[in-house]
Structure 1
Amino acid sequence: MKSRRKFLQHISAGVIPIAFGFTPESLLFNPDNSQNDKTLRVALMGLGSYANRVADAMKDSKRAKVVGVISGTPSKIPEWQKRFDIPDKNCYNYENFDAIKDNKDIDAVYIITPNAQHHNQCLRVAAAGKHVICEKPMAINAKEGREMVEACEKAGVKLLIGYRMHFEANTLEIVKMRNAGEFGDIKFFQGLSGFKIGDPNQWRLDPKLAGGGALMDIGIYAVNGTRYMVGEEPIWVTAQETKTDASKFREGVDETITFQLGFESGVVASCLSTYNMNNLDKFFLNGSKGFAEMQPSTGYGPIRSATHKGRLDMPHTTHQTTQMDEMAKIIFDNKVPIIPVDGKEGLKDIIILDAIYEAVRTGSKVDLNLT
Structure 2
Amino acid sequence: MTGDRTSGWTRRQALQSLALAGAAAAWAPRGLAQAPSRRIGVALVGLGHYSRDLLAPALQLTKHCRLAGLVTGSPGKLPEWQGRYGVPDRNVYSYDDFHRIADNPDIDAVYIATPNHLHKPLALVAANAGKHVWCEKPMAMDATEGEAMVKACRDNKVQLAVGYRMQHEPNTRRFMAMAKERPFGRIIKLRADAGWWGWRDGADDAWRLDPARGGGAMYDMGVYCVNAARYCTGLEPLAVSAFDETARRDLFKGVDETMRFRLEFPDDIVAECVTSFGRNLNTLQVDCERGWYAMSPFQGYEGNAGRASDGTVFEPQLGPRPRMQAEQMDQDALAILGNTAPRAPGEEGVADLRVLDAAFASARGDGKRVEIARG
Q: TM-score, normalised by structure 2?
A: 0.86
Rounded to whole Å, the distance in 1 between the matches of 2:40 and 2:34 is: 13
3-state SS in 1 of match to 2:264: strand
Checking the alignment, whether the CA contact within 8 Å between 1:35 and 1:333 is kept in structure 2 is: no
3-state SS in 2 of match to 1:353: helix
3-state SS in 2 of match to 1:281: strand
Which residue identity is paired with 2:43? A
3-state SS in 2 of match to 1:270: strand
Rounded to whole Å, the distance in 2 between the matches of 1:129 and 1:110 is: 14
Rounded to whole Å, the distance in 2 between the matches of 1:150 and 1:240 is: 33
Rounded to whole Å, the distance in 1 between the matches of 2:224 and 2:273 is: 10
RMSD of aligned C-alpha atoms? Answer: 2.2
3-state SS in 2 of match to 1:67: strand
Rounded to whole Å, the distance in 2 between the matches of 1:57 and 1:91 is: 20
Equivalent residue, structure 2, for 1:49: 49
Q: Would you say 1:329 and 2:334 are equivalent positions? A: yes
Q: How does 1:92-103 map to 2 (within 5 A)?
A: 92-103=93-104
Q: How does 1:41-120 map to 2 (within 5 A)?
A: 41-52=41-52, 53-120=54-121
Checking the alignment, whether the CA contact within 8 Å between 1:32 and 1:335 is kept in structure 2 is: no
Q: For structure 1, list consecutive stretches of 5 or more residues without a partner in the other structure.
A: 1-12, 14-25
Rounded to whole Å, the distance in 2 between the matches of 1:300 and 1:200 is: 20
Measure how far apart 1:264 and its partner are: 1.3
Q: TM-score, normalised by structure 1?
A: 0.87
Equivalent residue, structure 1, for 2:360: 357
Rounded to whole Å, the distance in 1 between the matches of 2:33 and 2:103 is: 30
Q: Which of residues 242, 247, 254 is equivalent to 2:245?
A: 242
Q: Which of residues 336, 348, 372 is equivalent to 1:368?
A: 372
Rounded to whole Å, the distance in 2 between the matches of 1:365 and 1:33 is: 51
Measure how far apart 1:83 and its partner are: 1.6
Per-residue deviation, residues 295-314 of structure 1 (Å, max 9, x unmatched): 11001011111112321114
Rounded to whole Å, the distance in 1 between the matches of 2:372 and 2:33 is: 36
Rounded to whole Å, the distance in 2 between the matches of 1:257 and 1:87 is: 44
Measure how far apart 1:153 and its partner are: 0.9
Structure 1 ranges of 4+ moved more than 6 A = none
3-state SS in 1 of match to 2:41: strand
Per-residue deviation, residues 147-205 of structure 1 (Å, max 9, x unmatched): 11111111111111101000101111222234223121111110001112233971100
Measure how far apart 1:333 and its partner are: 0.9
Equivalent residue, structure 2, for 1:172: 173
Measure how far apart 1:143 and its partner are: 1.3
Measure how far apart 1:290 and its partner are: 2.1
3-state SS in 1 of match to 2:332: helix
Checking the alignment, whether the CA contact within 8 Å between 2:179 and 2:231 is kept in structure 1 is: no
3-state SS in 1 of match to 2:286: strand
3-state SS in 2 of match to 1:286: strand
Equivalent residue, structure 2, for 1:320: 325
Equivalent residue, structure 1, for 2:9: none
Rounded to whole Å, the distance in 2 between the matches of 1:141 and 1:181 is: 32
Equivalent residue, structure 2, for 1:205: 209
| Stretch of structure 1 that moved more, 138-147 or 313-322 | 313-322
Equivalent residue, structure 1, for 2:40: 40
Rounded to whole Å, the distance in 2 between the matches of 1:111 and 1:33 is: 31
State the identity %.
38
Per-residue deviation, residues 209-244 of structure 1 (Å, max 9, x unmatched): 12x410001111001111011111111111111121
Q: How does 1:205-244 map to 2 (within 5 A)?
A: 205-210=209-214, 212-244=215-247
3-state SS in 2 of match to 1:189: strand
Q: Would you say 1:259 and 2:261 are equivalent positions? A: yes
Kindly tell me the number of residue pairs found equivalent between the two proteins.
341
Cα distance change on mapping 1:281 and 1:34 into 2, 3 Å: farther
Equivalent residue, structure 2, for 1:348: 351
Rounded to whole Å, the distance in 1 between the matches of 2:313 and 2:252 is: 39
Rounded to whole Å, the distance in 2 between the matches of 1:33 and 1:158 is: 24
Cα distance change on mapping 1:74 and 1:116 into 2, 3 Å: same
Which residue identity is paired with 2:172? T
Cα distance change on mapping 1:200 and 1:216 into 2, 3 Å: same
3-state SS in 2 of match to 1:260: strand
Cα distance change on mapping 1:33 and 1:140 into 2, 3 Å: farther
Cα distance change on mapping 1:177 and 1:348 into 2, 3 Å: closer
Checking the alignment, whether the CA contact within 8 Å between 1:165 and 1:298 is kept in structure 2 is: yes
Checking the alignment, whether the CA contact within 8 Å between 2:260 and 2:273 is kept in structure 1 is: yes
Per-residue deviation, residues 265-287 of structure 1 (Å, max 9, x unmatched): 11100000111112x11100111
Rounded to whole Å, the distance in 1 between the matches of 2:231 and 2:178 is: 12
Which residue identity is paired with 1:249? F
Equivalent residue, structure 2, for 1:283: 284
Cα distance change on mapping 1:227 and 1:33 into 2, 3 Å: farther
3-state SS in 2 of match to 1:234: coil
Checking the alignment, whether the CA contact within 8 Å between 2:36 and 2:64 is kept in structure 1 is: no
Q: For structure 2, list consecutive stretches of 5 or more residues without a partner in the other structure.
A: 1-12, 14-24
3-state SS in 2 of match to 1:322: helix
Measure how far apart 1:35 and its partner are: 5.9
Equivalent residue, structure 1, for 2:297: 296
